[in-house]
Structure 1
């Protein structure tokens, strides 16, 4: 079940990164401008956020399983539409559908775990999902580059269709309904408004959600600027950039593994605090290096690895702690966190640009906001609660 949930969470980086090497060929085949081609990525990212906002609250009233099945089926259908798209306009519309359905998969995967586990156990499970799902950003661009020659950009979308079919099978065979009828509420806008008020009215939830969002903002500052910084500023080749990107993605996985091993010996909030403080320290060191130190590659690259490793202590713990604060509306809580995550990513990308200074400054600012939210809006538990048992 956890593997199936991890695939649901990993679909966003797969659908984002796999087709990127084929963007130039896509523009030529569809006879469209580069700006129009970029809309296929922008609409997908917008769909990811909107899909979470719609489906997450709905699942608090309707249950998880039916919406998961519908979302995964829609994702598979959208892959077919992308692969067969005759024009750029059709492809953009199909990518929007792909983003909406992918957002449904992401938000419901988090809600399912929140339904079944609490406390340290939930933090451990979210970290394990990050370990499994963290492979996707490493594999996706490499796999897309390898497949582009033999099967073309349309073939890549057929591969994503196959991933969608696997998601449907995983949901149908491995994921039961995790929200019983007695814990559901009536649907409609009134119920949605109540759940949103319930979530945002919880100061601790808001603190953990902001920590999660701005932790991801720091990571996306690196992701969006690193192709330009590593190649144009540090002077590495495209092949060397792929290696650097892969190694740094392994840093996230490694941090998540260590985090998972430490949960139980340390409370999830302690590990989260360590993660955001490490992120803040690395952000400050990066700013000093690119402004005073001369942007030496042998200083910047290790700092970037430490930054991604620190993220492994932030995302899973912040998710688990935030979700634990809104048990009566786990879908809504997950949706708000996810929509904020991708909304902030869409905002950060153009602000960062392609400069080392912009990247480092954005990482530092996001880390500072995450740290401030954690330390001011949440309070340490007076005593450490024993991990709760649950079957997943």
Structure 2
């Protein structure tokens, strides 16, 4: 179902269709990261690289996701949402296809950065489109729905990667990613209308863009919320970067069984994001986020203790990890929603800063697990440490008790019929 303006122009499709399209776009990044996780040991063996060096290809993807958003966010505020999405999807397709012939770990690393830049368009523009159409609790609810769609990919991707590896080498996984990117290129071109009218666009010149970034960085609660979201993402990427080595090497899982266990962890992230809209009927996003961060620190500490003393074996590792992922699932929709609600006039730039710092913090975190030893204790320490730092940022920088309540309005006053979402 789509709405139509009085002039007969097609407007934004139904909320369900918005969630599906944007969720698939935002998922391009996680899918790019997760599908090749079962192949990490094989990549190292084929290219003669150490475990830590192979993990740096994951870091390269996260760096690309961070840098790409810094560039694409302001461009989407100036040019509209569609053109940056189309360009990003095209770059992702080309970089993914080129990995198939990458001769060395260094070339693979560069191509992974380019993949990240291409995938970043979906991440930053997807958030900006949500802010074009929704604010407050409605935005947090839509983000929860997006993470439901996005959450299917971490569940499916490693399992799919393991299945693909039965018939193809690790390079074949990247051909699959090229095909997925090509499908999204077609979907954006044919199925996603522009949500940013010309009268709401901003200058893409360097000076105004830097001033906008400067004003965002002067907003203490915004910066704090970005740090909270980034450190929750760091906990998630500690799991992503370490799980393949912990499950396959420490506990002897096959690539296929690893995919199932990794996907089972992602389910808890999805469960939390879908409980979040229910909780939002009675609680403010800041309240849910605060309780989740406190709980995350608690289960993180328990996980470190169990892993350090070897209590519970595999169950002693996955139990706290899954519980911590559940906590992250309550933080990741609410922190961005609160941050973006403060800067609807520059949603693309604000989304860019938010997303780039999230993935930038994740990029810094990814090699930590390898440096600490690539075992269960290292993964638990990295995850718990990220949550502790996130809680410190929440209390000292955000100060959630000082944040105002947000209302249930779904549209800001300056939005036109062209950007009004239809009833689901």
- Counterpart in 2 of 1:114? 131
CA distance 1:361–1:84, shift in 2 (3 Å): closer
- Counterpart in 1 of 2:83? 66
1:372 matches 2:392: yes
- Counterpart in 2 of 1:391? 421
The answer (yes or no) to whether the contact 1:57–1:192 under 8 Å persists in 2 is yes
The answer (yes or no) to whether the contact 2:307–2:377 under 8 Å persists in 1 is yes
- Counterpart in 2 of 1:2? 19
1:298 matches 2:294: no
Question: Aligned ranges for residues 20-59 of structure 1 at < 5 Å?
Answer: 20-22=37-39, 32-34=47-49, 40-59=57-76
With 67-76 and 11-20 compared, the bigger mean Cα shift is at 11-20
1:359 matches 2:379: yes
1:258 matches 2:280: no
CA distance 1:152–1:225, shift in 2 (3 Å): closer
The answer (yes or no) to whether the contact 2:60–2:109 under 8 Å persists in 1 is yes
Question: Aligned ranges for residues 290-369 of structure 1 at < 5 Å?
Answer: 290-291=307-308, 294=311, 296-352=313-369, 353=372, 354-369=374-389
CA distance 1:323–1:73, shift in 2 (3 Å): same
Residue 270 of structure 1 deviates from its aligned partner by: 1.6
> Which blocks of at least 5 consecutive residues in structure 2 are unaligned?
1-17, 412-419
2:394 aligned counterpart, secondary structure? helix
Residue 294 of structure 1 deviates from its aligned partner by: 3.9
Task: Say how many residue pairs are matched.
Answer: 389
CA distance 1:24–1:183, shift in 2 (3 Å): same
- Counterpart in 2 of 1:199? 216
1:106 aligned counterpart, secondary structure? helix
1:388 aligned counterpart, secondary structure? coil
The answer (yes or no) to whether the contact 1:198–1:326 under 8 Å persists in 2 is no
CA distance 1:201–1:308, shift in 2 (3 Å): same
The answer (yes or no) to whether the contact 1:221–1:349 under 8 Å persists in 2 is yes
The answer (yes or no) to whether the contact 2:59–2:364 under 8 Å persists in 1 is no
With 152-161 and 378-387 compared, the bigger mean Cα shift is at 378-387
List per-residue Cα deviations over 1:294-329 (Å, max 9, x = no partner).
464433322211111111101011111111112122
Residue 199 of structure 1 deviates from its aligned partner by: 1.0
With 364-373 and 186-195 compared, the bigger mean Cα shift is at 364-373
Residue 244 of structure 1 deviates from its aligned partner by: 2.7
List per-residue Cα deviations over 1:247-274 (Å, max 9, x = no partner).
2111101111111222222222221112
The answer (yes or no) to whether the contact 2:162–2:259 under 8 Å persists in 1 is no
Question: Aligned ranges for residues 137-286 of structure 1 at < 5 Å?
Answer: 137-230=154-247, 235=251, 237-238=253-254, 240-286=257-303
Residue 125 of structure 1 deviates from its aligned partner by: 0.8
1:266 aligned counterpart, secondary structure? coil
Q: Distance in 2 between matches of 1:17 and 1:379?
A: 33
CA distance 1:325–1:281, shift in 2 (3 Å): same
Q: Distance in 1 between matches of 2:408 and 2:322?
A: 33
Residue 158 of structure 1 deviates from its aligned partner by: 2.5
Q: Distance in 2 between matches of 1:154 and 1:364?
A: 33
> Which blocks of at least 5 consecutive residues in structure 1 are unaligned?
none
Q: Distance in 2 between matches of 1:222 and 1:37?
A: 15
The answer (yes or no) to whether the contact 2:293–2:387 under 8 Å persists in 1 is yes
CA distance 1:90–1:127, shift in 2 (3 Å): same
Q: Distance in 1 between matches of 2:322 and 2:280?
A: 22
Residue 374 of structure 1 deviates from its aligned partner by: 2.2
1:34 aligned counterpart, secondary structure? coil
TM-score by length of structure 2 reads 0.83
Q: Distance in 2 between matches of 1:362 and 1:44?
A: 19
TM-score by length of structure 1 reads 0.89
List per-residue Cα deviations over 1:113-146 (Å, max 9, x = no partner).
1111100010011111111111111211211121
Residue 159 of structure 1 deviates from its aligned partner by: 1.8
With 128-137 and 350-359 compared, the bigger mean Cα shift is at 350-359
With 244-253 and 18-27 compared, the bigger mean Cα shift is at 18-27
CA distance 1:156–1:236, shift in 2 (3 Å): closer
